[in-house]
């Protein structure tokens, strides 16, 4: 079996209030075989949508290339918005070298509860996926069960919302639709998507994600954040 180790440590700037939590990036980020449009940073896959969604929501003018500049753009945005990234899986074994969550075996989980204790201003976890097996919410539930910490459901509609108490404070969780093409089929079956698509045939699964993520990250609003001006 292939040992899939996460290539990045948690990125948690000072004063972070929200942590984005996923599982493992595509294997090429661990082997170093990136393509020209990949960014060597969290969620940097050219096939992924998280940074493209943020780009739309915040008007960031990000570059999508394998450069130091692209990495620094993303770090500056996270610091400004007080977002951190801490995927819950540190490593796992795989029979097949791919990015499937279901394909992970013997997952080694990061001590997310301990990390919350170390960062007292964090009050929200935002999952890039739901509660399906080997998803980030699924693994958090395992950590909470082991620690005998109850998880309270606040809203069971996607994006689901829960709360739990850790280190004397309430932590809210939001479970977003995954920012990868594998979730497009699930989006296509959602009544809200079908209704929007019926009204606008040009409406896409990406548009659906932008609206959903906007409600969680910006309360539905969009702001203009011009972080970088590239000079030559």
Nearest to 203 by CA among 177, 179, 176, 184: 184
| CB 179, CB 208: distance < 8 Å | no
- The torsion angles phi and psi of 16, rounded to 5 degrees, stand at -60, 135
| CB 172, CB 165: distance < 8 Å | no
CATH 2.120.10.30 fits 2-217, yes or no: no
Buried b or exposed e, range 147-175, using 16+ CB within 10 angstroms: eeeeeeeeeeebbbbbebebeeeebebbb
| CB 63, CB 76: distance < 8 Å | no
Written as tens digits, the pLDDT of the chain (232 aa) is: 999 999 999 999 999 999 999 999 999 999 999 999 999 999 999 999 999 999 999 999 999 999 999 999 999 999 999 999 999 999 999 999 988 888 999 999 999 999 999 999 999 999 998 778 999 999 999 999 999 999 999 999 889 999 999 999 999 999 999 998 888 988 999 999 999 999 999 999 999 999 999 999 987 433 333 333 232 2
Q: How far apart are CA 105 and CA 159, in angstroms?
A: 27
Three-state helix/strand/coil letters over 91-105: EEEECCCCCCCCCCE
């Amino acid at each position: 079996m292939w040992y899939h180790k996460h290539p990045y440590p948690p990125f948690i700037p000072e004063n972070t209030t929200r942590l984005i939590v996923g599982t493992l990036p595509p294997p090429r980020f661990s082997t170093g075989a990136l393509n020209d449009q990949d960014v060597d940073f969290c969620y940097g896959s050219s096939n992924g949508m998280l940074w493209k969604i943020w780009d739309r929501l915040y008007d960031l003018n990000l570059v999508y290339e394998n450069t130091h500049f692209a990495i620094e753009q993303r770090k500056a945005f996270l610091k400004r918005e007080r977002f951190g990234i801490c995927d819950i899986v540190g490593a796992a074994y795989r029979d097949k070298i791919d990015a499937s969550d279901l394909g992970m075996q013997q997952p080694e989980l990061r001590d997310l509860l301990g990390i919350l204790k170390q960062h007292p201003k964090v009050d929200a976890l935002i999952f890039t996926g739901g509660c399906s097996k080997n998803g980030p919410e699924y693994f958090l539930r395992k950590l909470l069960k082991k620690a005998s910490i109850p998880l309270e459901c606040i809203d069971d509609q996607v994006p689901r919302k829960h709360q739990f108490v850790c280190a004397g404070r309430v932590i809210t969780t939001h479970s977003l639709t995954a920012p990868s093409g594998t979730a497009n089929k699930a989006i296509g079956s959602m009544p809200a998507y079908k209704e929007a698509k019926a009204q606008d045939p040009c409406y896409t699964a990406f548009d659906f994600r932008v609206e959903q993520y906007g409600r969680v990250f910006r309360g539905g609003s969009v702001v203009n954040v011009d972080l970088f001006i590239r000079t030559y």
